[in-house]
Amino acid sequence: MGKIRGAQMKTKKDTLSLIVIVLLVIISLAGILSLDFTKSYEITNQYGNTVKMYGAGIYAHDSYMKAPVLIGTDFCILLVLVPLLCFASIKNKKETSNTSRLSLMSLYGVACYYAASLCFGVSHNRIMLLYIALFTCTLFGMFTILGKIEVPMLRYNATKGIYRFLVLSGIALVIAWMPDIIPSVITGTPLALIEVYTTEITYILDMGIIAPLCLLSIYLLKKQSGLGTLLLAMLFKICIIVGVMMIPQTICQVLSGFEMPLPALITKSGSFLLLGGFAIYFNRKLYFALDKL
């Protein structure tokens, strides 16, 4: 009976991973196939400003500035996250170790971040139900995997370099987005690049969730808590994927003809790319140490 139950649990786990991967492929392909800069049009938004709309594919009702960023994100999801998730799922199926579960859960966290960005940050379109399904599967998938991880066994002696990385990551997220928000708060006007949206979901996710998690991870790591290591692994994966994501996003923006000011390019794209590079280095050290436990 125990063996049968274990096999059933493994089948459910494999099925969920397969569903997430299929959803990621369909959703990202739908975005990539929307690559067409010839169908733009202009409208007057709810704030009385003229906004250039994208007009093509699944992002037809998103702004001309935001759609290339979304398409660049879709390229990264299909070419980077999906292969990593496939590899992690296969490895977890074979090993079912603490580190394999941690790696899979971290990638689920990245997919959940992506799904949340689509659910709350993209204009309503025909595949909105798929966005919701992806958000649900990744969110509850993380909790499912968390229940199987022996968190107390994840004690990790973080180095000063990792603590500095976490502090810089938290600060970078604030520095990247706060200059966009402060002027609108002072003047009482909408965000300069709000366009057809009511808010910017990236500000909420990065400053409201990711940045505080960086500080919380520092506190828990110093307490030698396994939960701190778990958060650290997830933050590393998010930083890595977001860093890589800056490349296709910037390329798509350039192809669209959008001119990004050099200071904005440095503070946003450059800083995330740099943090992604450091995250790759520290992530390798983390799993090397955990594999020895």
pLDDT of residue 58: 97
Q: State the sign of the Cα–Cα–Cα–Cα dihedral 177, 183, 184, 189.
A: negative
Neighbours of 117 (CB within 10 A): 18
Q: What is the pTM of this model?
A: 0.91
Q: What angle do CA 190, 180, 170 make, to 5 degrees?
A: 135
Tell the residue number behind the tokens 């949340």, with chain if given: 116
Average pLDDT of each block of 10 consecutive residues along the chain (293 residues)? 47 80 98 96 93 96 95 98 96 89 96 97 96 97 93 91 94 87 90 89 93 95 94 96 93 85 66 90 94 75
What pLDDT is attached to residue 131?
A: 98
Distances (CA, A) of 281 to 6, 159, 239: 35, 13, 11
Tokens standing for residue 161: 């370099």
Rounded to whole angstroms, how far apart are CA atoms 156 and 224?
7
What was the pLDDT predicted at 1?
A: 44
pLDDT score, position 221: 95
The residue type found at 232 is L
Residue 3's pLDDT is 46
Confidence (pLDDT) at 216: 96
Give me the pLDDT at residue 258, please: 77
Domain limits, the chain? 2-291
The pLDDT, as a whole number, for residue 94 is 87
- Radius of gyration of the CA atoms of the chain, in A: 20
CA distance 231 to 212: 11
- DSSP conformation letters of 165-220: HHHHHHHHHHHHHHHHHHHHHHHT---TT-TT-SS-HHHHHIIIIIHHHHHHHHHH
pLDDT of residue 266: 63
